[in-house]
Structure formats: structure tokens, C-alpha cells
Amino acid sequence: MGSGDPAGLCPQCLILGAFDSLAGAEESGTQTLAIATAAGYDDFGRYRIVGPLGEGGMGTVYLAEQSEPIRRRVALKVVKLGMDTAQVLARFDNERQALAMMDHPNIARIFDAGVTSRGRPYFVMEYIEGATITEYCDRKRSTAKHRLALFLAICRAVQHAHQKGAIHRDLKPSNVLVTEQDGTPVPKVIDFGIAKATDKWAVENTLLTQFGQIVGTPEYASPEQADTMTGVIDELSDVYSLGVMLYELLIGVVPFETATLRGAGLAEMLRIIREEEAPPLPRKLASMGARASDIAGRRQTDPTSLRRLVDGDLNAITMKALEKVRERRYASVSDLAADIQRYLQDRPVLASPPGPIYLTRKLLRRYRMAVLGTTAGAAFLLLSGVTVWSLARASAARPKLTAKDTIVLADFDNKTGDPVFEDTLRQGMSVELQQSPYLALIADRTVQQTLTLMGQPKDARLTPEIARQVCERTGSAAVLDGSIARVGTQYVLGLRAKDCNTGNILDQQQVVATRREEVLNALSQMSRKFRTRAGESLATVEKHSMPLSEATTPSFEAFKAYSTAAKLSLSSENWGQDSIPLLLRAIEIDPNFAMAYAKLGLGYGGNGGNESALSAGYATKAWLLRDHVSDRERFFIDFVYDRQVTGNLEKAYKTLELWRQTYPRRAPTVANAQDLLGGISTQGTGRFERTMEAALDGIATEPGLAPPYSNLALAQFYTDRFPAAEDTLQRATARKVQRPSLSILQYNLAALKGDREQMDRIAGSASGNRALEHWIVHAEALALARSGRLRAARRSSGRAVDLALQEGEGEVAATFIAARAVWEALCGNSAEARTAAMAALELSTGRDVEYAAGLALALPGNSARSEALSSDLEKRFPEDTFVKFTYTPVLRALASQGKGKFADSVERLEITRTYEFAVNGLNFLYPVLGGLHSAYVRGQAFTGARRNAEAGAEFQKILNHRGLVGLDPIGALAHLQLGRVFVLSGDKLKAKAAYEAFLAVWREADPDVPILKSAKAEYARL
Amino acid sequence: MNERTMHTSPGSSQFPTTRWTMVFAAGDPHRKEARSALVALCENYWYPLYAYLRRRGYAADQAQDLTQDFFIRMLEGRYLDRADPEKGRFRSFLLTSLKFFVADEEDRRRAHKRGGGAVVSLEFSSGEDRYQREPAHDETPERLFERRWALSVLDQVVQKLRTEFVRHGRPEHFDQLKVFLLGRSDASYAALALEMNTSEGALKVAIHRLRKRYRELFRQEIADTVADPAEVESELRFLAAVLTGK
């Protein structure tokens, strides 16, 4: 096996060669030829082709003559075959207005766009007779100053376009032509607006087409254009491309040369564009060897002088334009132009750090006079409220951590006597360090487990020594411990990092905070310093660090409540809910505490959707404050917002994936992308494989945490892998992992197997468990209803409702009642169904309650009321995945059936197929009913429309997906409906078998259930 | 040279069923043919697992032990019961099982005690060399696994193709023609034909056949790692996506 490239060939290209559809060399060769010659035969309307001008990535450019309304020569760009003509023109139309407004002497006009008689789109542009800017300058042996002047003109042109809202997206020397007018060179930017109209990546923000072919020019592409996930292409992207051009104009080469980029393989090429810093101009020039004198010669200078010229401000300006981090780049093209202008006028440029020496040198040059030394340095230190000094000697050999190491955080030693610093500083440090995508702290839960193994109480104080033992046992690399002491009115904070295997000190710092309010800032400073010392690059530290006091809260008391809540939610079985009072206190103290709101949003909505309205309110509040949080926290807030407010699970899911990608390492908190990735946004969009992958990952890294087991077992259950689900539950039990959802799932599995003994055992152990009992009793009710024992089911359901109400879970109680309404309706008891549905609605108007009640009302044909409910849902949850793709379509389809419009009903259900095999709000985690109601309703619609085969397939679908249907009564009723379909299609034998299957499940059913009576009568007729 | 020697014909190595289905079908890894199929699969595809473990943070020796122990466990028949023949891809099965294995410390300790001799020959020393050359950026262990997996598949295919040329006594032809596997080449047919002492037409035919054979071998290799032949195309697309970073 070779080391990388099979047989020395580029793997990306090799694998693409494995697809039949890709044209081979000879085919593509002939195709290019065809385009070139075909231009002659094709009809370009009022334009007559004179001859080819050149060929680019997008197509061929011809010189053409326009005959009317005026006679002129134009450049005509014919877009390559294979692009969608209609789309290209539509996008061009969008751009047309911006383009029409652009009227700048340095921008080539775009006159027109059209389609040839053979269906190829083309653009008509001002014809510029000239050379590309680099050719022109080299031919003229332009000096650097002269080149800068031309470049400034280009900047102004681009700036003009930006003001009109047009982004170029493909700035490069070949798109800047220089003509001479009366002996003066005039640069012209061509192709404005064409990149956006034609290129796929203009829409999808990437350099790649579907099979990884590069469009655009990688040498000049900005990092965001190489970012397939999040790249935003705006003015700053053009700033970057201009930076590359400036680089090339100054020293004759681009930062990353074609050979390096293209030879690297695709993924590596994109990585270089995204991540690698451009080499500074002087260094690059020095690396050119013999070529340097030729390059210098074309600028009428020698290599040494050229190197000196580009060392300093010009380098700083170019590097600032080429910043990989958008925020640190020039904020606009005009800022870049202004800095160049300043350079040309010998004024200080923004791009350089304003060190005293630098300023002096500038002043000297500008005023040609002496300036004495300045005391600015000393003054600077006095201004800051915090001073930091380091006790660790900076040395190249200092041991560093690697990205694979984990860290144990000890408790801070609080010598101030002020209780507010207890826990708070450790928690604060934890929040700080979690901003790092590089470092990983050991999860608090793991710490607790390790303490237990060590014979210590779970909440034992983590002294440096105990933390060291935890560090050893968990195979971590280092212990971080800290202290705080008071000296007069000031506070001295200390931080120490120790390798727990060797005892070597990795880092040691002290910070003085002049006031109590400065303590959190001091903590932030220490954390940032530690991160860089531990080996994190300065760039990521800069990118991911929001001072704690800004990111989280400036109030100590609020933070204290928040961190105690975090601690509590770790040890509580029902995470989220027990911490609510503390979180409420946190927001009372600091009404702008975004993370506290977000956690409240999840706390109220996380478990069984108790108080969805409250949850949505808090999540919204958090979202409104999201500008004041760290990156990591923002992901969490965005996720909670989509989960609890918009209900847009696709968006929630994407946030999680992005979050995980940005922070591949686990955070030691409850809210982890890794754990949440197994949850509702993933399973609610049918991504069960992804769930299992994420969950397994979670189990592998933190085998003591509950959510991954729960998510894994659920995903296995929903995809009918019952033995695997049981296996997972056993693993959880073996690890002493408990959670209500695990017991509920266990109950469901037992009930589906008909294992009464196991069911009773679980029910027995749930008795008295306030977080669990009502759910188990409801599951019991559901299982009874599923076998037609409605009287017993009603009794159990009533008890479940009472228990839920005792817990203050009104919305949960309402879903229980609504579920009862649904099974009554399914069994033909429309009066009971109606009463229960109304009672549920009176108790709550939560999303799932309204849907279930609507279902109960619509099944027997009360369409008016159910239509009102679907309109209400639509209005309140326009983006909600369940509402949009399942709830309203099902309700509306039922309404159509009520009016006898079966074809219409089928039509309305079409959209439900999108997520038909996903879970919904009623059957995920805490199942109130089952899934696949859409299939049941569709089966009814097909039956009504006499499309027997299709109807049968729908009911069979329900029988085939036992996990998704769970204990829902439709799992039994589908047999009966299937039997009815067979009767209609005249297949008596199969019909009989289906009826018998139904009657077997309902063998203990109450005899007076309407649907049973009709079923028996129908069966007798067979 | 004549036309016949410039391309190869399918060898006799085609399995009647794919290797992975055979492992399933046997249900018992101790059966000889199933075992040898499994061993062959493991030997070809161990490196992605090793790289995964290394990226997960295990030291080289730990990762070697874990990989070795994992294969021993698997050849003993562990994890196979967990494989889902309906949706089985060898790739996902391996990674999933490895995760279980790693999670299960008990298993690991037992394996250590027993010491388990080497059953599968894995060139760990070369593995660590290779791992050291993996790009050091923030790629997750899973992504690294997938990328390495895709490269291993490519490697197998190209090796097999080359072997067929070698079998026909024309290894140099493979080296001359291999660039045409890329779907795009700047090489001039006329010059190459001259160099290979054949006509341009014959060369084009040879290239056409080479590509065709390449695509066949590719699908065959993938088929060995999926349970259902219908999954070959989607697995191929997956691998392409992994390599091209989409």
C-alpha cells in the first residue's frame, strides 16, 4: 500500500475517472473544438462574429460587430455548453440592474445578454483593446509606484461597483485590461456580474462543481470561496483577490503558485487557500532565486532594492488584504485604497502596528526632523486595569499539549473569603477554555465517576492533588489549578498547568485585577495566554475568544447561579428541569444573560415539551442577545432557537453539524453538539444513521453519559433493530446510566413483544419516580388501547393525566388527553373523541396538542374545527418541520376525505413523504402516540379513491415499520384496514388472514367497541 | 506491439458472491472460506482504522494493539452478529464495531491477558510512518477514516489493474497509459502512439478498454465491501465525495 497517491496519480482525479458519465480526454477535446468552430455557424442575432479573442474557464470570447442600433465592435462571451441556459439568464437578469447602474471609466460595460439559436447563453461587453495589467506593466517596465497608481484606479472601480451592490468574485489580472488613451494607461475591469450569473459557486459559495472540478481561478480565490461549508462571498472576497493581484504586481508572483496549488490535490489545495498564510513579500522574493533579478528588472530596479521596498508598509498592506480571517482584512476596498494612498504620501498606514519606533520613523520621514523618545509605552501599561506577567520562562523546548490531550480543571483556591468566588472561577475558566477548538477538558460527569472509583464523594473538592489523581486515572495530560487572593482592594489571580505524569510545570501565570469587576477579565486574559502556551495558534485564539464578562455575564452573582445550575443539571436525572429556579435567578440578576435564557429555553422544552410557549419565549430572548456570546455559545443558542421557536429542524441540524465541525472536541458541559446531534433535529429529519454514528461516538468518548445511549437505542428502535436496541439498553444499565427515556423505551420494547412480566416489572420500578411514572402509565394506556381494551386504557390514561398534573406538567397532561382522543376516534367513538379533544385543547394549545386534537376531531369527519386548528398551526409555526411536513398536511387531507374528495386528500399528503420515516413531536423520546399517521390517512384516501393496491401498500407500510409506529393503535388497526382493502379487491383469502390478525391482537378487546363490532360483522360475511 | 497486449482481460479472481456477503452468508467466521475472505478484507483495509485510532489520540503502540486486538475479536466472530445484512457496508460496519470495541474496556483487558497471537498480518511500522505524514489539521477521526478508506479502495483497484498488465508482461504499458485513468490528460495521442510503436487508433482503443476495465475493477472492489450489489453506485459516490471534499 503506497503512502498516499495510488500509482502516483491524483486520487481525486482517479476516483472521478471511475464514473462513466465523465467524458474522457478525447471526448472533451473534441467538444472544445466544436465550440470554437460552432461559433461561426451559430446565430447571435444582431452580432456578427469577427474572430476568436480567447478562451476562458467559462467559455470562448469572440470579437464581434454590432450592426444596430449603433455600429460598434464588442466582445462577445459565449458560455460553455453544459450550463443551464435559463438559470444563467435568470441570474444575469437579477444582476442587470446593478450592472446598468455601473458607470465607471475603469469598468468595462456589459451591454447585453442573449441566447444563440442553438441555445447557448452569451454576454456582450465593451470591447477593450489592451493587455492584461500584469503583461502591460511588465512590458512597460513599470516601477512599483506606477503599478500602485494603476492598482489604485482598479480599487476605485471595484469600490464603485461595490457601492452599487455588485461583487466581482473573479478578480484576477486577466480580468483587468489596460488600454492607452492619449498615451495614458487606463485599466478596465471586465466581466463584472458574469461570475455570478454563470458560475455555480457564485450561488453555492464554493470553488467546486459537483464532481470537484475547479471553476474560477484558485490562485486568486479567497479563503471563503474555498470554504464549502460557510463561505460568504461579499466585498471582502474581492478585497482578498485584489490583495493577490497587488502581491503579483509588486513582486511578479502570486503567494501560492499554480504548481503548488494544482499539484497538491484538491482537498489540500482548498486547505491551502483557506488556511495557509501568504508568505511575506520579502521572503517570497528571496525565495525566487535567479528569477528575482528579472522580476526586479521589470520594475526598473535591482533585487535588493525591490526587497527593501516591499519590506515594511507595502508588505503590511498586502498582508492585511490577504488576511485569512475576514474580520482582520481591510473592511472594504476603499480602506485598502486609502492605505495605499497613505503609503504613497508617506503617511502612517493602518496596516502596521503603531509601535513607537514605527511612528517615529514615519514622522522622521514625513517632517524630516528629529523626534525624541516617547513614554507612550509606560503610559500604555498604566491605562490597563490588569497587568499580566508570566513566571514561566519562554523557551523553545517547553513542553506543550497536543490537540489529543485532555485537561482536568481543579477547583480554585479561594483565599478572599468572598463566597461568590467559590465554583465561579473554575466554571468561568471552563467556559473560557471551551472557546478553544483545540483544548479539551474532561467532562464533569467523568470527573464525578472517577471520584467515585477513587472512593471519594462525588462532589469532593478538586484539590490540586485530587485533580492530579483524576488526571492520571483518566489518562489526561495536565491539571490546571488556580487561586485568588485579596491584597488591599486588588485581587491576585494565579493559574498553573502541570503535566500530571511528569509533574513538569507547563505554564504559570499571575494576574492582578484592580477591582472586583475586573476579575472575570483577568480570568479571560489568563485563559488566552494559557491557550497560546499550550500550543494553540494565535489565529484560533484570536478568532475564538470573547472575554467572559462580555460573552457570558459581567455579574458574578448571576454567573454563580448559572454555574450552580450547570452543576446541578449534571447530577440530576432529568437534565434541564431541576436547574430552572437557578437559571431564573441568573436572568433576574442579569437580564441580558443570553446563555441562561438559552438553557431555560431547553429546560422548559427539552423533556416532553412541558411548557412550549415559555420555552419559545426564553429561546427567542437568548437569540436576540446572541451577539454577546462566544462562538460556541452562539451555536448552542442558534440550535435552541430553531429547536424551540421556529421548529425548523433542518436548520437546527445544520447548526449542529457546523458546531461540531468548528469544535470537533467535546465540551465538558451538558449541551454538546455531539450529544445533541443524536437528538430530535437528526431523528426528526430521518437521519437515523447519522444519529447512530454520533451516539456511538459519544459512547466511545464518554461511556458514562446518558444521552448517547438514549439516542442510539431510540434510533435502533425506530429503524426496527429491536435486538440491537435491547443490547444498547443493557449496555447503559451495565454502566449504571439511567434516564426516563431509557425505561420508557424498554417498556415499549417489552409491550411490542407482549412480554407482560417485563412490562409489569418496569411499571413497578417506575412507581414513585416523579420524572418517569406518568410516562410509563401513559405507555400502559396506549398499549391497552392498541389491543382494544378501551375501558382499561381510559383508566390508565386518567391516572397518567393526574400524575402529570401533579407534577405541574399541564402541556404533557394535555397531550395524554389528546392521545386518548385519537384512539377513541380511531375506534369509532366519535363522541368520546370529541370530548377528550376539547378537554385537551382547553388545557393547552401547544403544537403537538393541537395536532393530536385535530386528528381526533378530523378522523370522524369534524373538518371545520380541525381546519381551524391546521390554519392556527400554520400561522404560528410557519417554518416548523413537523407542522409543515406532517401535521397540517395530514389534517387537511382528513378534511378533504370528510368531503369525499379522495384524490385531493392523496394530493395533500404528498408532502408528508419527505419525512414520513422520521419521528415527530408525538413519538420522539417520550412517545405520546406513534408515527406514520400520514400513511394511515393516505391508506384511507386510496381506499376511498378505489386505488386498492396503493391503499394496501400504505397499510402494509405501517405493519412493516413497527418501531416507528410503536404502541400506536394504528399498528393493530392497519391489519383490519388491509383486510378491508383485500375485500374490495376481491382477495378473500388474504382478507381473511388480515381480519384474523387484527382479531388476534384484539382478542381481549372490550366487546362494545364500534370498530370491533363492524370488523366482526365483516369477517362473518367472509 | 499489437493491440491485444495493450489491454488486459478480466482475471479469474472474480468472486461469485462478494466477499462481504460471503462473510455474512457463512454466519460463522470460523468457516474456512468466510474466514479467508474476512482476513483478506482486514489486511487490505486496516490502515484506515489505525489512522482513526491515532487521530482519536491513541499512541502508536496503543493503536497497534487495539487494531490487532480488534481484528482478533472480529475473527473470533464478535461483532458479526451486530452487522446488519440489510444495510451492511463493510466500511461502516468496521468503524461502528471498532467504536464498540474501544468503548468496551473490559473486552480490551481480556484481550491483553490472553495475549492473542498475530492472526492478520498488518505492517504496523509502515502504518506509523504513513500516519506521521497525515496532514495535521483538525480533521476528525471519522473524516480521516473515511478518506483513508477511499484511498485504500483506490489503491486496491489500481494495484489490481497493474497486476493484470504485469500478468500480460507489459508493466510499462500501464505506466504509460495510467494518466488516462484521470479522465483528462494533456498527453498527445500521436506522440504517445509513436512512442509505444502503435497506431493512434489502436492507442485510443486501448485507452478506452483500460478505462472500462478500471471502472469494472472499481465496482468489483466496492462490491466486495457491500452486502447488496445495488449499493455499489451509492458507495462509489460516497467515496468520491469523501475524496473531493464535498
pLDDT value at position B80? 66
pLDDT value at position A167? 81
Angle value at C-alpha B52, between B49 and B57, nearest 5 degrees: 135
pLDDT tens-digit series, residues A405-440: 788 999 888 888 888 887 888 888 887 887 777 778
Intra-chain end-to-end CA distance of chain A, in Å = 68
Query: Any residues with CB less than 8 A from the CB of B27 and at least 6 apart, and which?
Result: B80
C-alpha cell recorded at residue A992: 381473511
Which residue in chain B is spatially nearest to A19 when comparing CA positions? B215
Instruction: Give the β-pairing of A478-487 and A131-132.
Output: unpaired
Residue that wins the pLDDT comparison between A132 and B180 = A132
pLDDT value at position B34? 67
pLDDT value at position B28? 58
Position A288 confidence tier, pLDDT thresholds 50, 70, 90: confident
| Out of A146-150, A299-303, A687-691, B73-77, least confident range | B73-77
Position A384 confidence tier, pLDDT thresholds 50, 70, 90: very low
Residue that wins the pLDDT comparison between A77 and A962 = A962
**What ipTM, to 2 d.p.?**
0.71
Residue that wins the pLDDT comparison between A352 and B7 = A352
Distance, CA of A86 to CA of A96 (rounded, Å)? 15
pLDDT value at position A364? 39
pLDDT tens-digit series, residues A513-541: 888 878 888 888 888 888 877 777 666 66
pLDDT value at position A495? 87
User: Of the candidates A19, A437, A699, which has its C-beta nearest B103's C-beta?
Assistant: A699
Interface of A with B in 656-715 (CB under 8 A): 661, 664, 689, 692-693, 696-697, 699-700, 703
Contact B180 A696 (CB under 8 A): no
DSSP for residue A54: E
Indicate if the pLDDT at residue A258 is higher than 50.
Answer: yes
Instruction: Give the β-pairing of A59-66 and A110-115.
Output: unpaired
Query: Any residues with CB less than 8 A from the CB of B95 and at least 6 apart, and which?
Result: B49, B52, B142, B145
Indicate if the pLDDT at residue A968 is higher than 80.
Answer: yes
Among the listed residues A909, A889, A932, A880, the one whose alpha carbon sits nearest the alpha carbon of residue A718: A932
Give the distance from residue A32's alpha carbon to the nearest chain B alpha carbon, in angstroms. 13
Concerning whether A339 is annotated as a catalytic residue, the answer is no
pLDDT tens-digit series, residues A806-837: 888 888 999 999 999 999 999 999 999 999 99
Instruction: Give the β-pairing of A59-66 and A47-55.
Output: antiparallel
Contacts of B162 in chain A (CB under 8 A): 7
Q: What angle do the packed helices A235-251 and A133-140 form, to 10 degrees?
A: 20
Interface of A with B in 19-48 (CB under 8 A): 19-20, 22-26, 28
Query: Any residues with CB less than 8 A from the CB of A935 and at least 6 apart, and which?
Result: A916, A954, A955, A957, A958
| Out of A44-53, A300-309, A335-344, A381-390, least confident range | A381-390
Query: Any residues with CB less than 8 A from the CB of A812 and at least 6 apart, and which?
Result: A608, A609, A610, A774, A804
| Out of A553-562, A840-849, B153-162, B180-189, least confident range | B180-189
Residue that wins the pLDDT comparison between A33 and A981 = A981
Q: Is A192 helix (H, G, I), strand (E, B) or coil?
A: coil
A212 vs B: CB within 8 A: yes
Q: Is the dihedral of CA B146, B149, B155, B156 positive or negative?
A: negative
Contact A403 B138 (CB under 8 A): yes
Distance, CA of B192 to CA of A746 (rounded, Å)? 68
pLDDT value at position A512? 79
Indicate if the pLDDT at residue A314 is higher than 80.
Answer: yes
* 3-state secondary structure labels for all residues of A780-826: HHHHHHHCCCHHHHHHHHHHHHHHHHHCCCHHHHHHHHHHHHHHHHH
pLDDT value at position A76? 81
Q: Where are the alpha helices (DSSP H) in A164-288?
A: 194-198, 200-204, 235-251, 258-263, 266-275, 281-286
Instruction: Give the β-pairing of A386-390 and A406-414.
Output: unpaired
Size of chain B in residues: 246
pLDDT value at position B161? 86
C-alpha cell recorded at residue A245: 493581484
Residue that wins the pLDDT comparison between A91 and A619 = A619
Which residue in chain B is spatially nearest to A18 when comparing CA positions? B215
Mean pLDDT of the residues in chain A: 80
Contacts of B151 in chain A (CB under 8 A): 4, 6, 11
Indicate if the pLDDT at residue A1004 is higher than 80.
Answer: yes
Q: Is the dihedral of CA A943, A945, A951, A955 positive or negative?
A: negative
Indicate if the pLDDT at residue A379 is higher than 50.
Answer: no
pLDDT tens-digit series, residues A592-616: 888 889 888 887 765 444 577 788 8
Give the distance from residue B90's alpha carbon to the nearest chain A alpha carbon, in angstroms. 15
Contacts of B143 in chain A (CB under 8 A): none
pLDDT value at position B238? 83
A759 touches A747 (CB < 8 A): yes
Give the distance from residue A353's alpha carbon to the nearest chain B alpha carbon, in angstroms. 29
Position B183 confidence tier, pLDDT thresholds 50, 70, 90: low
* 3-state secondary structure labels for all residues of A101-131: HCCCCCECCEEEEEECCCCCEEEEEECCCCE
Q: Is the peptide bond before A69 cis (omega within 30 degrees of 0)?
A: yes
pLDDT value at position A609? 46
Indicate if the pLDDT at residue B7 is higher than 50.
Answer: no
pLDDT value at position A46? 78
CA torsion A941-A944-A950-A954 (nearest 10°) is 50
Burial category of A417 from C-beta neighbours within 10 Å (exposed 0-12, middle 13-18, buried 19 and up): exposed
Indicate if the pLDDT at residue A213 is higher than 50.
Answer: no
Distance, CA of A972 to CA of A955 (rounded, Å)? 10
Question: What are the backbone angles phi and psi of residue A946, rounded to the nearest 5°?
Answer: 60, 30
Indicate if the pLDDT at residue A47 is higher than 60.
Answer: yes
Give the distance from residue A738's alpha carbon to the nearest chain B alpha carbon, in angstroms. 18
Contacts of A7 in chain B (CB under 8 A): 158, 162, 174, 178
Indicate if the pLDDT at residue A208 is higher than 70.
Answer: no
DSSP for residue B28: -
What percentage of residues in chain A have a pLDDT greater than 90?
Answer: 32
pLDDT value at position A800? 95
Indicate if the pLDDT at residue A14 is higher than 80.
Answer: no
Contact A11 B243 (CB under 8 A): yes
Contacts of A473 in chain B (CB under 8 A): none
Position B25 confidence tier, pLDDT thresholds 50, 70, 90: low
Q: Which of A170, A411, A507, A848 is catalytic?
A: A170
- In a mutagenesis test of the B interface, which of A1, A228, A692 is the best target, namely the one with the most B β-carbons within 10 Å? A1
Q: How many CB pairs under 8 A join A and B?
A: 141
Helix H or strand E segment including B2: none
Mean pLDDT of B6-32: 50
Looking up cell 476605485 gives A156
Give the distance from residue B147's alpha carbon to the nearest chain A alpha carbon, in angstroms. 10
Distance, CA of A780 to CA of A797 (rounded, Å)? 8
A381-403: b or e for each residue (b if 16 or more CB lie within 10 Å)?
A: eeeeebeeeeeeeeeeeeeebeb
Contact A22 B183 (CB under 8 A): yes
DSSP for residue A189: E
Contacts of B204 in chain A (CB under 8 A): 26
pLDDT value at position A419? 80
Query: In this structure, which long-range contacts are made by residues A596-599, counting pairs with CB atoms below 8 Å and at least 24 apart in sequence?
Result: A596/A553, A596/A558, A596/A561, A596/A562, A596/A565, A597/A621, A597/A622, A597/A625, A598/A622, A598/A633, A598/A636, A598/A637, A598/A640, A599/A562, A599/A565, A599/A671
A937 touches A905 (CB < 8 A): yes
pLDDT tens-digit series, residues A115-168: 776 666 777 888 888 888 998 998 889 999 999 999 999 999 998 888 877 788
Residue that wins the pLDDT comparison between A57 and A542 = A542
pLDDT value at position B222? 85
How far does CA A92 lie from the centroid of its chain?
Answer: 30
pLDDT value at position A789? 96
Query: Any residues with CB less than 8 A from the CB of A760 and at least 6 apart, and which?
Result: none
| Out of A385-389, A952-956, A997-1001, least confident range | A385-389
Contact B155 A1 (CB under 8 A): yes
User: Of the candidates B135, B236, B245, which has its C-beta nearest A266's C-beta?
Assistant: B245
pLDDT value at position A263? 66
Query: Any residues with CB less than 8 A from the CB of A643 and at least 6 apart, and which?
Result: A602, A605, A619, A649, A652, A680, A681
Which residue in chain B is spatially nearest to A20 when comparing CA positions? B215
Give the distance from residue A167's alpha carbon to the nearest chain B alpha carbon, in angstroms. 25
pLDDT tens-digit series, residues A753-779: 999 999 999 999 999 888 899 999 999
Contacts of A403 in chain B (CB under 8 A): 138
Contacts of A716 in chain B (CB under 8 A): none
C-alpha cell recorded at residue A772: 418517569
A440 touches A666 (CB < 8 A): yes
A271 vs B: CB within 8 A: yes
What percentage of residues in chain A have a pLDDT greater than 70?
Answer: 80
pLDDT tens-digit series, residues B126-176: 667 677 666 655 567 788 788 888 888 888 888 888 888 877 777 777 877
- In a mutagenesis test of the A interface, which of B144, B184, B239 is the best target, namely the one with the most A β-carbons within 10 Å? B184
Among the listed residues B223, B176, B208, the one whose alpha carbon sits nearest the alpha carbon of residue B37: B223
B122 touches B69 (CB < 8 A): no
Contacts of B99 in chain A (CB under 8 A): 696-697, 699-700
User: Of the candidates A13, A28, A270, which has its C-beta nearest B245's C-beta?
Assistant: A270
Give the distance from residue B99's alpha carbon to the nearest chain A alpha carbon, in angstroms. 6
Taking CA atoms, A292 is separated from A298, A636, B161, in Å, by: 10, 51, 46
Interface of A with B in 355-374 (CB under 8 A): none
Report which listed range, A190-204, A282-296, A485-499, A766-780, is most confident: A766-780
A288 vs B: CB within 8 A: no
Give the distance from residue B105's alpha carbon to the nearest chain A alpha carbon, in angstroms. 10
